[in-house]
Structure 1
């Protein structure tokens, strides 16, 4: 099924640039970001990301060679899935590919999942294919959720 805000973030194990990791164990109470197409983002604003946020990115698809790569030396824990089969399984798990009666989309879905420390998807940012996206949009969303604070902001009921 498709994943939306409020859904539990699916767990998985994958071979990454940081070694083999179990997604939920790796997050270990930290905020997480899952990027389906990390090379769409210009690396300029990634430095603003808080060190306590962990980012997992899927490897670029072959037709994404013309966009800016994410560079090493980032201020946060950043892992990239190394194994193509693991990446394909994660893409299917997070894309809602379980719907058999829905025709395939004409283009790849590009999504950023923001995952809270309780392993709940707090937001999904969906956008059309293309490079030079501003990672600052992701950072601003994390800021809205208080990802840079030890405890998330309290929720207030609408009056």
Structure 2
């Protein structure tokens, strides 16, 4: 079982850009690995088209996207034509790689099989997993959707923003936070440090009398 903060497993895989070593491919970038049950399927096609359009947003954040599906590379390459057509991206090179996981080895390694959703042969489908990996190759976040439910990529961008921001400052993001909103000072930060680093912080008065809810403008 993967644990947050652990090094994300390295692997070699065939992809639409050739064989890669995952850690080498990431280099010094963050990464988002997202998986799919099969090629030429409706929900997957909408998702890969959405990510293709969001590539500039991932690039702003220093994040490399990479997809995974159970079909082979030849099918992946044919499928990208449909994805580009659906996404109104017919004249561009497909902007990120797709991993071929015909053997299901990666799906098993990363615990991505959906036991409630099965293919025509009765085999469990690969779930719609999202893994976010930071520049130190550490596993920072995962979201696991069933095969029948499409992902919210605006939420994925939001959590990347939150992760990168909280890495830089002694803060945490509150419920429904989005870029530009105020943030919370971490409860372990002393009052002296708050006064120095967060002079505009506001402490909420609570029935408990405890001074742990401290909101501050975005650093």
State the TM-score, normalized to the length of structure 2. 0.53
Greater length-normalized contact order (CA 8 Å, ≥ 6 residues apart): 1
Larger Cα-atom Rg: 2
Aligned positions of 1:1-159 closer than 5 A = 2-37=1-36, 39=44, 41=47, 43-44=49-50, 47-48=53-54, 49-51=57-59, 52-59=62-69, 70-71=83-84, 73=92, 78-82=96-100, 84-85=102-103, 88-95=104-111, 105-107=115-117, 108=125, 109-146=127-164, 152-155=167-170, 158-159=187-188
Deviations 1:53-110 (A, max 9, x none): 111211256xxxxxxx7546489x621013523xx1111111178xxxxxx8333432
RMSD of aligned Cα (Å): 3.2
- Report the structure, 1 or 2, having the larger helix content: 2
Q: Distance in 2 between matches of 1:121 and 1:54?
A: 14
Q: Distance in 1 between matches of 2:160 and 2:53?
A: 14
* Alignment CA distance shift 1:57-1:4 (3 Å): same
Corresponding residue pairs, total:
139
SS of equivalent to 1:50: helix
Which sits farther off after the overlay, 138-147 or 6-15?
138-147
Deviations 1:21-43 (A, max 9, x none): 10001001101011112817273
Q: Distance in 1 between matches of 2:6 and 2:49?
A: 29
Q: Is the 8 A contact 1:34 1:56 kept in 2?
A: yes
